[in-house]
Amino acid sequence: MKLYQVNDYQEMSRKAANIISAKIILKPQCVIGLATGSTPIGIYKQLIEWYKKGDLDFSEVKSINLDEYKGLDENHKQSYHYFMNKNFFYHVNFKKENTNLPNGMADNIDAECDRYNQVITNLGEIDLQLLGLGHNGHIGFNEPGEEYKNGTHCVALSESTIEANSRLFEEGEVIPKYAFTMGIRSILKAKKILLVVSGKDKADILNQVLNGPVTPKVPASILQFHNDVTVVADKGACSKINEDTLISLRQEMI
């Protein structure tokens, strides 16, 4: 694991966007795993800016998203389809057929999970998987539990996740209680993982992820077993990591 400790959200976004850009420039046909939530929004903004300057080309890049709410169609403002279109895809030259998200409206849950697993398999290796971190340690929507789930599954969201995400819904809107998510094994199969974390409110959980025991009760702790994880986290998020861990993981910024 490598850790880039940066000053703030803006630096985190720029550093992570740099890492993603390097992958795309070196391998224009790469497969990138994408995340939603508030953390990656700054990364997408930065990538859009570089695209508009002519420095990036997404025409051959393929993407696979981690998750989608069950019951929200792609035009619903809180769906992750809508989020990706609004914050990224509509502003760059991704081909629609090269982008993939679970279908939140699928009636048959098992069939949708099988379809998404097949999409992941057909893409071959994920070259780089971008991940945010939930306050309870979730990655994608792999919530804390007694065991890790390997493949795509439909998950009952924890109370804390529903509460955390409720800020994005308008008053009176029904907040989904279930979501489709890529499983832990699919995430771990990515060649490279980029975890981005911002803010003091994530300091405790980031410390557990990096320093604590590997346990499905803190889903992201399994990243300790992956051989190419880069964490980009700001000072607030790093504020509970002990000095020894910081010294052993910290990379110099160039």
Ligand X SMILES: O=P(O)(O)OC[C@H]1O[C@](O)(CO)[C@@H](O)[C@@H]1O
# residues near ligand X by CB under 6 A: 12
Chain centroid, CA 17 distance in Å: 13
Instruction: Kindly write out the interface string for residues 64-83 of this chain, putting x where it contacts ligand X by CB under 6 A and - elsewhere.
Output: --xx----------------
Separation between Cα atoms, residue 194 and residue 160, nearest integer Å: 24
Contact 204, 240 (CB under 8 A): yes
How near is the Cβ of 135 to ligand X at its closest, in Å? 7
**Sole window of 9-17, 32-40, 148-156, 244-252 interacting with ligand X (rule: CB under 6 A):** 32-40
Selected binder of ligand X within 104, 134, 176, 183 (CB under 6 A): 134
First-to-last CA distance in the chain? 18
Single out the segment in contact with ligand X by CB under 6 A; choices: 19-27, 36-44, 212-220, 227-235.
36-44
Among the residue ranges 19-27, 129-137, 145-153, 246-254, the one whose residues contact ligand X (CB under 6 A)? 129-137
107 is catalytic: no
Q: How far is the CB of 236 from ligand X (least distance, A)?
A: 13
Q: Is 132 in the site for ligand X (CB under 6 A)?
A: yes
Q: What is the CA radius of gyration of the chain?
A: 17
Contact at 8 Å (CB) between 236 and 230? no
Q: Is 127 noted as a catalytic residue in this protein? A: no
Closest to ligand X by CB, 56 or 187: 187
**How many other β-carbons are positioned within 10 Å of the β-carbon of residue 204?**
14
Cα(57)–Cα(98) distance, integer angstroms: 13
Strand, coil or helix: what is 208?
helix
Using CB under 6 A as the binding rule, whether residue 142 contacts ligand X is answered as no
With CB under 6 A as the contact rule, the residue among 33, 42, 102, 140 that binds ligand X is: 140
As a whole number of angstroms, the distance between CA 78 and CA 66 comes to 15
- Catalytic residue, candidates 11, 65, 67, 68: 67
User: Is residue 136 annotated as a catalytic residue, yes or no?
Assistant: yes
Q: 62-65 and 128-131 as β-strands: parallel, antiparallel, unpaired?
A: unpaired
List of residues contacting ligand X (CB under 6 A):
35-39, 66-67, 132-134, 140-141
Catalytic residues: 67, 136, 138, 143
